[in-house]
Structure formats: structure tokens, C-alpha cells
Amino acid sequence: MNTKAKGEISQAIIMTRLLQKGFSVSIPFGDNQRYDLLLDTGTELLKVQCKTAWLDRGRLRANTCSTFPNKNRKRINYIDSIDMFLIYSPDTDKVYKVNIRDAGITEIILRLDAPKRKDKNIRMAKDFEYC
């Protein structure tokens, strides 16, 4: 399965879970926005970028930038373009919410297992579970 198809499946699962929680969800027309959907919480509209996580040695990883192969693989981050990432993991079947200010410039890593060493910079996946 190609990455576009994986992303579309993740976006559909994320939207379904949001609707099940009672949120309103809107999709922008066309493919020209930096966000995948608008989440209406009842008090605010949030721009959301949907991502798919992959499992890597007890960690969930997801890209937090766009890569453009026709521009020498130039990476463009989402700062000032979105409010949050909603990341679906097929391995855990969970959606994780990461605010843009908490995400890395190119990648987010969420630990599933407790690390051997204490480190205040480690993000535990359970702390970001959303739906």
C-alpha cells in the first residue's frame, strides 16, 4: 500500500473516532490547505493535520513535516499552519493528539514502553492518547 493510501485510511479512522466522540468535523475543499480537517469542539475551530505512526523499537514515530520530492526532498514544517496533529497508529489502533507546540520540527516520537533511563524529554504515548 502506498503512503497516500495509508494516510487516507488514517484520516478516515481519525474522522470516525472524532464523530463518535460527538465532535463536528469539516474537510477543506481541494488539496491546497496545510491542514487535513477542521475540528469543531463547540467552542473553537482547530486546524488538524492527520498523520500515520509506525512502530519502531517500542516507539511510535510520525513525520511532522511535509517532504516534497520534486524540490530536492525539501521539508516544510507545520508551525503557524495548524493547531495540532492527530496521529493514528495501526499497531495500537489508537489516535494520539499532539499540539503543534509539543511536536518536533520533523518528527514526533512517542514511547510505548518505559525507558531504562529517566529523561524529562521522553514523551509517553499514553499521555497523548485521544480516541
pLDDT (tens digit, 9 = 90+) per residue, 65-121?
Answer: 987 666 666 788 899 999 999 999 999 999 999 999 999 889 999 999 887 777 767
Give the percent of the chain with pLDDT over 90.
Answer: 73
CATH number at 3-128: 3.40.1350.10
Can you give the pLDDT at residue 69?
66
From the list 90, 77, 12, the residue with the least C-alpha distance to 50 is 12
C-alpha 24, offset from chain centre = 18
- Tally the C-alpha atoms within 13 A of residue 60's C-alpha that lie toward its C-beta: 27
Domain boundaries, the chain: 3-128
Among 121, 102, 114, 95, smallest CA distance to 18 is for 95
For residue 3, the SS3 value is: helix
